[in-house]
Structure 1
Amino acid sequence: MTVSKKAEAKKAEERHCIVTGEVGPKEGLIRFVIGPDGAPVADLGEKLPGRGIWVSASREALETAIRKGLFSKAAREKVEVPEGFAEDVERLLAKRAADALGLARKAGALVLGFEKVLSAIGKGEVAFLVEARDGSEDGSRKVAAALRAHNSGTEKAQPPILRPLWAAEMGLALGRANVVHAALTKGSMKEKVFGDLARLESYGRKERPVHEGLA
């Protein structure tokens, strides 16, 4: 039986988590390498040299890897994990997600503001939505209702809604006051921006802003 090129490509994009033992798409994991000082380095761009060590994109998984010494086991050498490493990784994920939003806006692929987002939904232009973690529940309900109404009676998948950043973080990334509602319009930036935002959301953030780490 011949394996299709598409299946081979998909398999090539999968990695093994050292904590769960499961194999999954790279988008759901974080790559680490061991630096010259013997400490792990989060390689979010997946470009650093060295053997990649992959951990599921969740704080719980990373803290388990640290607690059980799994970095040392995977690297086959003594690895010293610095104190506060899980928080450092969160800051890096938040900065990368914010940068991705900023790039989308510069490319003209991002719609900002409640009314403009509703308009984009009505025109069927939305690839996915981004809402601030501390946005109002009422606004979120109205946006979700607009999505359902637009997709009612069709077989189209409803665009996902992500809530990875606080309003202050979104505003800082986009160069304006607190931003609560944004929509990525359909286009070539969808996969890159979605991947960075989804990974941060999956990580499981503490209930505190870390926008000071976005500078």
Structure 2
Amino acid sequence: MVGSIKGFTLGISGLALLTSLSLHFQNPSFSEKENLENKTINYSINDSIKKQEEKIILKRKEFVENARKYLGEEYQWGGRLTKDNPGIDCLGLIFLAYSKTYNKKWTEISVNPSEIVKKEQLGKPVKGLDGILEKNVDFTRLEEGDIIYLLSAIKIEDKPLSEINGIKYWPWHTGIYSDKKNNLFLHANPANKVTESNFKDYLQETTEAIFVTRIY
């Protein structure tokens, strides 16, 4: 059996195809409904991801604000602002602000940066900033709330955080990237107290490399 359209002869398979196409164009509702459902699902997923990202960013900002509450506190190595450990040091500042923001006990966080990083206790390493020389730092990749470890080739009683060009680097200080617009660094300055100052200037004056983690 054959059919003919404008001089073209069609076999059974050709007629079946035309019938299918005809039905599709006459009743496209199923396909349109399926596409609409897919778009709705994708929108819902994307909207959920966006809201989660916004929530994370707001928490990081809260973390920075909680750390700012300690501005002016005198530096004391091992300080946690307690009776037995007065004053505050660089890790103490981060621990206290983190504990207040994320409702977690700072006493459960290691005092060794290598272990903190390995166990991701204060965020995940930021790719491209997870061990980089000071001269190569791209400041645009930093985000407010990032935790920055300043590194030196001088060995300390901890494992090195990074090895660059065959040279091992150990953490000697840490702080918080607190203001992206003004490029500020919030930390318990070993030579003074808790301060907030230009990060680029401080970096050039004091350190050889950095390692960055970001809280999610």
Q: TM-score, normalised by structure 1?
A: 0.29
Q: TM-score, normalised by structure 2?
A: 0.29
